[in-house]
Amino acid sequence: MDLFLPESGLVIWMLIAFLIVFVILAKAGWPMIMGAVEKRNAHISESLLAADEANKALAGIEQKKQETMAAAQAEQIRIMKESQELKAQVVEEAKQEARKEAEKIVADARLKIEKEQAEAMAQIKNEVIALSVDIAEKLLQRELSDKPSQSTYIEQLLKNNHPQIQA
């Protein structure tokens, strides 16, 4: 039954070789492999989490963007409407202003024309008066130098105009 007895020499070799390998692998083998794999696992799960969060954030941003766009569109429409109204108002106001102005100008012009007309009429009257006075003066000067004819004329005038005063 030699088969079932351990050999001291082989036991020693086995102990030496196995312990050397065990110590080397325990120091420089397994911890590196396990550490790296665990580190990578942690990194991967962290990255997945981060990606998930980023996706969520992205979805939020997308929604915000949509909202902002919708708001901007509404604002645009509102502003356009307002400006349309404003434009119409301004044009209306301008028209009224212009009309008023025109009316004022026309009224002024009429007043001036009337005034000038009146002035012109007054001047003409004055001139007519001066002219008639002048003529009358000249006539009077000439008529008065000739007494007989004066008398005849007066006679004649009297005769033509006032026949009842015939002397």
Partner 1 sequence: MKNVLKHSILFLFLALLTLAPSRGFAQDEEQPKKEKFDAKSFIFGHTGDSYCFHITEIHEHPVCVWLPVIVKCKDGSGWHCFSSKHVCELKEGETFNHKGANFFIEPINADKYPGKLVEVKTDSGISRPFDISFTKNAFGIFLVCAFLLAFFLPAAKKYKKDPMAKPTKYQGLVEWLTYTVLDGIIRPNIPEKKVKKFAPYLLTVFFFIFFSNLFGLIPFFPFSANVTGNLSITVVLALLTYFFVNVFGNKHYWKDILWPDVPIFLKAFPLMPIIELISTITKPFALMVRLFANILAGHIVIMVLMALIFIIGGMYGAGMGSVMSIVSIFMTIFMMVLELLVAYIQAYVFTILSSLFIGMAQHEPEHE
The residue (of 32 and 94) whose beta carbon lies closer to partner 1 is 32
Least Å from the CB of residue 57 to partner 1:
25
Least distance in angstroms from the C-beta of 5 to partner 1: 7
Residue closer to partner 1 (CB basis): 46 or 127: 46
Q: Are 22 and 15 in contact (CB under 8 A)?
A: no
Query: Least distance to partner 1 from the beta carbon of 33, Å?
Result: 5
In angstroms, what is the minimal distance from the CB of 47 to partner 1? 11
Which of residues 5 and 167 has its CB atom nearest to partner 1 in the complex? 5
Q: Between 45 and 123, name the residue whose CB sits nearer to partner 1.
A: 45
Provide the binding-site residues for partner 1, judged by CB under 8 A.
2-15, 17-18, 20-22, 24-26, 28-37, 39-40, 43
Polymer length of the chain = 167
